Amino acid sequence: MTDAALFLIWRSTRNWALGLARRLRSPRYAIAVLVGVAYVALVFVGQRQGASGAIPVASLRIGGSLFLAVLILKWWLFGADRQALAFTPAEIHFLFPAPVPRAALLGYKLISAQRLIVVNVLVWALLIRRSDDSLGTLPYAISLWVFFSTLFFHRLAVALTRDSVAEHRGAGLRRAWPAGVVLAIIAGGAWVALRHVTVADLSQHPGGPLGAFRLLLETPPLSWILWPFQIPLLPLGASGLGDWALRLLPALALVALHVVWIVRADRAFEDAAIDASARRARRLERWKRYGAAGAPLTHRVRRWLPLGATGHPVGAIVWKNITRLVRTVSPALPLTVGVLLTLAIGLGVAAENQSGAVLTMVATLTLGWAGALAVFGPQWVRNDLRGELEHLSMLRTWPLSGSVIVTGQVLSSTLVLTALQLGLGGAGVVALLLSGQLLVAVPEASVLGLVALLLLFGLNLVSLALQNGAALLYPTWVRTELRPGGIEQMGQRLLTAGASLLLLLLAALGPGLIGGILGYGLWHSLGLWALAPAGILAAAGLGLEAFLILDWSGGRFEKTDPTAL
């Protein structure tokens, strides 16, 4: 099995590297890689020059061990992520029916996990350093490898043990007794340490509650309990090479202990592994189809706005896409934001002394976000053609012109984005009004607000039309943009964001100038009201641009070959 496992891992890695090298021949891919590497290098140089992002050594010992203790306790009590047991469908197909002992399968799992661990080590070694850089990059990377390996191996061991207990009940519990003893010791120690601590102790400590908490962690029995959790972190806190070598030994011993624990487990984990693999495959499939924006489908929303039997097909496309949004995106985030905003405004009004400050903060935040959404929103709200490229074949069979289909798709995102801005902007205006800082009268504010909304709608329409046009021009580029990937995809995203921003600026320039000239000309006679015709003219200019882009995109849609995606 070892030979076969090593062959599989080596050949897979080699073929992946060769594929990467082949892709580099494509200028588009090569540019994306270059941009990605340049970005990482810039961040790395920034890290080297500044102390920001560096980890203080003392925090590693106390904070790190506490974090590990809580994490591991959570795994034992509430279950480790069963993904640790997941194999790929091909691995299940080939390895599980093969005459291979379970220990060998687990050994293979441990070895194959190294690919992911090594990537993590590289990223962390490059991007996150300690505050005192006395440890060289290689020892630091080795220390990280020890830490990540311990973490992964322990997670796997927890998943195996918990699965065994769930599967075999009594027998499983008997096998898991050492873990039970450790958990009991931790719980007992925590109880002994915390039973005499009062709120007064915490508040009267010279270092405040945090200082008191730290003291608690550094004195027995909590310090004894946390000590084992410090072992994987010990090498990371070394002050020199000699110290590092000494600290590395127990950490390596812990890794070895975990390997023995897992490989000797010999538990029937196949069912759990297949279940975890199926879950992972489903998640990957969803990720491939919908990207990061595509949350898991839920069955929450069944009754939804019905689609009318008659009407323009654009309405049907918008209905379909908004249905998708409603059924795939959790309402928790917008609801939370809404509740928080309402609470903040309510708090601001209730707190008489500081109402101005709180409401100003709410207004600044909400209006700032509404503005920021005009720039970054089209990258985030992808409820349009960009999310439907996999259905391009089907869309092409519809008896609709390309421009109608693209318009329906672009409108779907435009309406959502503008509604978000309306919500945020409305909250901001209300906050300003309540704080008495609204500089114009309510009638003027209402009219100008409507014009601003019209302007934002036009800007969103142009921006999203550009994004969707780009999706038709470079479909493979846009399709892969959202998925998890390496440095080339980071470069791709940066390039796309930069190009989108530049195009948006260029598109807004003409309408902005025309509207600005009109507003300037009318300012002396109309005053603030001059902004209304200026805004309407600029919005009309944006609308015209959007029409031209959508018309061009429609033609492009009709020529795009879905098989080339």
Partner 1 sequence: MIEVDGLTKLYGPLVAVQELSFGVAPGEILGLVGPNGAGKTTTLRSVAGIILPTRGTIRIAGHDLAREPLLAKAALAFIPDEPQLFEYLTVAEHLQFTARLYRQPEALDRVGPLLQELELSTRQDSLASELSRGMKQKLAIACGLVHQPRILMLDEPLTGLDPVGIRRMKRTIAARAQAGAAVVLSSHLLQLVEELCTRVLIIQGGRKVALGTMQEIVRDRPELSGRGLEDIFLSLTGHSDSGLP
Query: How far apart are alpha carbons 221 and 193 in whole angstroms?
Result: 6
For residue 551, state whether it binds partner 1 (rule: CB under 8 A).
Answer: no
Q: Which is nearer to partner 1, 5 or 471 (CB)?
A: 471
- With CA atoms as reference, report the closest residue to 159 among 78, 242, 227: 78
Q: Considering beta carbons, is residue 90 or 307 the nearer one to partner 1? A: 307
Residues of this chain, 313-342, that bind partner 1 according to CB under 8 A: 313, 315-316, 319-320, 323-324, 327-328
Q: Is 563 in the site for partner 1 (CB under 8 A)?
A: yes
Q: Which residue blocks in 474-486 are alpha helix, DSSP H? A: 475-481
Q: With respect to partner 1, which residue has the nearer C-beta, 150 or 403?
A: 403
| Beta carbons of 93 and 8 less than 8 angstroms apart | no
Residue 289 sits at the vertex; the CA angle it makes with 287 and 290, to the nearest 5 degrees, is 70
Question: Which residue number, 60 or 317, has a Cβ lying nearer to partner 1?
Answer: 317
- Beta partners for 55? 130
Residues in the chain: 565
CB 22 to partner 1: min, Å = 17
- Minimum CB distance to partner 1, residue 407 (Å): 14
Q: Is 309 in the site for partner 1 (CB under 8 A)?
A: yes
Q: Which residues of 112-146 are buried (b: 16+ CB within 10 A; e: fewer)?
A: bbeeebeebbeebbeeebbeeeebeeebbbbbbbb
Minimum CB separation of residue 561 from partner 1 in Å reads: 5
Q: Say how many residues touch partner 1, by CB under 8 A.
A: 32
Considering the complex, what minimum distance in angstroms separates the CB of residue 334 from partner 1?
A: 18
Q: Quick one: which of 49, 310, 353, 525 contacts partner 1 (CB under 8 A)? A: 310
Residue 4 CB neighbours (<10 A): 14
- Minimum distance from CB of 25 to partner 1 (Å)? 16
Q: How far is it, in rounded angstroms, from Cα 36 to Cα 481?
A: 13
CA quadruple 290, 291, 297, 300: dihedral, nearest 10:
-110
Report cis status (omega within 30 of 0) of the bond before 221: yes
> Closest distance between partner 1 and the C-beta of residue 332, in Å?
18
- Of 79-87, 190-198, 306-314, 424-432, the segment contacting partner 1 by CB under 8 A is 306-314
Distance, CA of 253 to CA of 130 (rounded, Å): 24
User: Distance between CA 554 and CA 372 in Å, rounded?
Assistant: 29
Nearest residue (CB) to partner 1, 444 versus 558: 558
Would you say 127 or 278 has its CB closer to partner 1?
278
Q: Cβ of residue 296: shortest distance to partner 1, in angstroms?
A: 10
Piece of the chain touching partner 1 by CB under 8 A; list 43-51, 91-99, 169-177, 311-319: 311-319
Q: Minimum distance between the CB of residue 308 and partner 1, rounded to whole angstroms?
A: 8
- Name the residue nearer to partner 1 (CB basis): 52 or 563: 563
Contact (Cβ atoms closer than 8 angstroms) between residue 450 and residue 393: no
Question: Which neighbouring-strand residues pair with 130?
Answer: 55
- Considering the rule CB under 8 A, would residue 473 count as an interface residue with partner 1? no
**For residues 495 and 452, what is the distance between their CA atoms, to the nearest angstrom?**
29
If you write DSSP's letter for every residue of 275-298 in order, what string do you get? Answer: HHHHHHHHHHHHHHHH-TT-PPP-
Q: Which of 70, 307, 335, 450 binds partner 1 (CB under 8 A)?
A: 307
The neighbour count for residue 223, using CB atoms within 10 Å, is 16
| Cβ proximity to partner 1, 403 vs 435, nearer residue | 403
Q: How far is the CB of 333 from partner 1 (least distance, A)?
A: 18
d(CA 533, CA 518): 8
Distance from C-alpha of 334 to C-alpha of 421, rounded to nearest angstrom: 12
For partner 1, the closer of residues 341 and 400 by Cβ is 400
For position 302 contacting partner 1 by CB under 8 A, the verdict is: yes
Q: Which is nearer to partner 1, 11 or 282 (CB)?
A: 282
Can you give the C-alpha Rg of the chain in angstroms?
A: 29
Binding mask 388-407 for partner 1 (x = CB under 8 A): ---x-xx-xxxxxx------
Interface residue list for partner 1 (CB under 8 A): 297, 299, 302, 306-311, 313, 315-316, 319-320, 323-324, 327-328, 391, 393-394, 396-401, 558-559, 561-563
